Amino acid sequence: MLKLGQRIKFGDKITRCEKQGAGDAPAARWIHALLGLVYFALVACNTTAPSLPPSITPSSTPTPVSSHQSPISNLRVGWAYEAYPDASFEKMRDDFAMMRANGANAVWLGHNNPGQVNADKVEPGISYAVYAALQNKNDALHADARAMADAVKRALDAARATKMQVVLPIGYQIQMGDAWNEKYPNDLRLTFEGTPLNLYHSGYTASPYSSQYRADITRYYEWIEREFVEPYRDVIVMLSLADEPMGGDYSVAAKNTFAERYGKTMDALSQNEMWKIGEFESGVIADYATWSANEWRRINPDILTTMSFHGGETARRVWGLPDIEKLFSQTPDNFIVTFDAYLHDDLATKPATSDQAAQLKLFLNTIGAYSRVYNKPVALWGGVNAWGLAQESNSPLGVPDAVTNLLLLYDLPTRVGANLWGIFAWNYNVKQQGLENYARPTTYDLRAMQIAVERAFPVLRTRQVQPQPPDIAIVVSQRALYEALEESRAADTPPNWFDATPFARALADRNAIFVSSDKIVNEAREALYFIVAAQAADLDDEMLDFLRAQFDEGKIILTSDALLAQRWNVPSERWEEGLNHLPNIGETLYIFGVE
């Protein structure tokens, strides 16, 4: 039986496979080489693999999309990896050496989830609470904090020894730890009702607008610069400031910021100004990312920063907390936008669905367009673990799906001109999920999974995709989002103001993107189809004028709002064939229904 972590040769690559005996070695090499070929063949035939849409000639000459293909020396690829306190330097060094030999050039260390001090936790790492406990040797958590910090330094030493680049996480959400929360209860994020915000019961978070938070986190950032960045500058290529930050904020600090920004308090708004509350709440996380990245630019202008945002249900089906476009439009140039982007983004017990995969494809197209328009690099994680492959469900995924996930992360954003910074496989050794440290049965052979994923790394670094403008733009309304956020008073997850599912089902394999701002829709002007998924009353005059100009040029416009035809005074007809069979003649406004 082949085992994870064994040492074997195939081709000119070295992988780790414990020797089975002289007579077994040739057979082992042959089996592993065959497995790699078989799984890549499966990927090529996999029905979920990306496919380019049929060629459609627009009515005007298209503007070429500049290519942002990453040269082999630039694209970072590799595993996410937990630096466990009980793991030795030798163990980490051997793991990283194996990864590098098989095509990886970077490793994304694990974040401290949740942001508390506990050396025995599932996902240990560095965060403010660890730093705070290290400042006092008499702190009850000092020993655990020391063990967690030392483990990260061993990982950095191992990366240096193997010439691997490292993304170093230094925070989780906006969590400061129990001691800080108890000391500064008035500086926590709040719901509209005034209770501390507790996303998915993962713990309380600080308000990013709090002056106390900003002072304390700045001291922590400066400590990170001294303790980690300066001594490991040859290893650390980027700092991840937070994982999965999301939600809004109705704290006193947030309300004061709102009043400074809009010139009125929330309570003083007139009825037709209430949408501004939704606009503010949708930008809380973008404000957090922007302030944090700017603070790091002051501390060390040469270090890149990122936050790894949630790319699941609240990003690909319905979004708004945060407004995803703001992450691209507002953050400074030392900030890279990262998303987890799994085929299946849910618990291992829940089945993988075709809707999730379809939503992911439109999501990747859309953030690729944002990356191009705002010249903002992106990094992405693929789901190569028991959770991301739904291993405890009645509809699990396997090795071909894992590799397909990684290839999608390159192909779809790059196709629309994204500047792709890196692709990482989540996760090599995280407890209860990873290739290592997962005790339950899997539908795939762990060794075969490792081989397939690591063979994908060099493929990603040399992959070529010809960028092309999107041919379908799905227009949604920012105003509708803001009004829904204000009416719902949501601070954790966005209300169901929109559902991308029917559009994803019909258009997942087309070069289609969601657009909501005038800037993005203008960049999609070469599209042949504009599908207006918003009510005309929720679109501003500039957007409506743009769409009317596209109609007059002969572009094909579909809308769910029959009143738009009356407003424009143009011919219209009901489109009964659904969005997966689009019309091919313009000069008529097509009215469609969404099931």
Side-chain half-sphere CA neighbours of 351 within 13 A? 5
pLDDT in tens, the chain (595 residues): 333 444 323 233 333 333 333 333 333 333 334 334 434 443 333 333 333 322 222 233 333 444 444 454 489 999 999 999 999 999 999 999 999 999 999 999 999 999 999 999 999 999 999 999 999 999 999 999 999 999 999 999 999 999 999 999 999 999 999 999 999 999 999 999 999 999 989 999 999 999 999 999 999 999 999 999 999 999 999 999 999 999 999 999 999 999 999 999 999 999 999 999 999 999 999 999 999 999 999 999 999 999 999 999 999 999 999 999 999 999 999 999 999 999 999 889 999 999 999 999 999 999 999 999 999 999 999 999 899 999 999 999 999 999 999 999 999 999 999 999 999 999 999 999 889 989 899 999 999 999 999 999 999 999 989 999 999 999 999 999 999 999 999 999 999 999 999 999 999 999 999 999 999 998 899 999 999 999 999 999 999 999 999 999 999 999 999 999 999 999 999 999 999 999 999 999 999 987 6
Can you list the alpha helix ranges (DSSP code H) found in 229-332? 252-262, 275-282, 284-299, 313-316, 324-329
Task: Classify 305 as helix, strand or coil.
Answer: strand
**DSSP character for 395?**
S
Beta bridge partners of 307: 337
What tokens does 229 get? 């960045």
**DSSP character for 446?**
H
CA atoms of 417 and 372, how far apart (whole Å): 5
pLDDT at position 84: 98
pTM of the model: 0.89
pLDDT at position 483: 97
Residue 158 sits at φ, ψ, to 5 deg, of: -65, -40
- 588, 557 in Cβ contact below 8 A? no
What tokens does 446 get? 């762990």
CA atoms of 63 and 66, how far apart (whole Å): 9
What tokens does 191 get? 């719901």
Side-chain half-sphere CA neighbours of 284 within 13 A? 35
Which residues neighbour 63 within 8 Å (Cβ) at sequence distance 6 or greater?
A: 469, 526
Beta strands at 335-340 and 106-109: parallel, antiparallel or unpaired: unpaired
Q: Which residue has the tokens 């953030």?
A: 367
CA atoms of 487 and 537, how far apart (whole Å): 17
pLDDT digits (tens, 9 = 90+) for 149-184: 999 999 999 999 999 999 999 999 999 999 999 999
- Please give the helix or strand (H or E) that residue 547 lies within, else none: helix 541-552
CA atoms of 463 and 452, how far apart (whole Å): 16
Which residues neighbour 576 within 8 Å (Cβ) at sequence distance 6 or greater?
A: none
pLDDT digits (tens, 9 = 90+) for 539-556: 999 999 999 999 999 999
**DSSP character for 123?**
B
CA atoms of 41 and 37, how far apart (whole Å): 6
Task: Compute the radius of gyration of the chain from its Cα atoms.
Answer: 25
Which residues neighbour 215 within 8 Å (Cβ) at sequence distance 6 or greater?
A: none
Calculate the CA 325 to chain-centre distance. 13
Beta bridge partners of 531: 474, 558
Q: Which residue has the tokens 């894992």?
A: 402
CA atoms of 461 and 103, how far apart (whole Å): 9
Calculate the CA 466 to chain-centre distance. 23
- 326, 283 in Cβ contact below 8 A? yes
pLDDT at position 74: 85
Task: Classify 79 as helix, strand or coil.
Answer: strand
pLDDT at position 290: 98
Buried b (16+ CB within 10 A) or exposed e, 331-357: beebbbbbbbbbbbbbebebebeebbb
Closest CA to 97 of 81, 116, 113, 114: 81
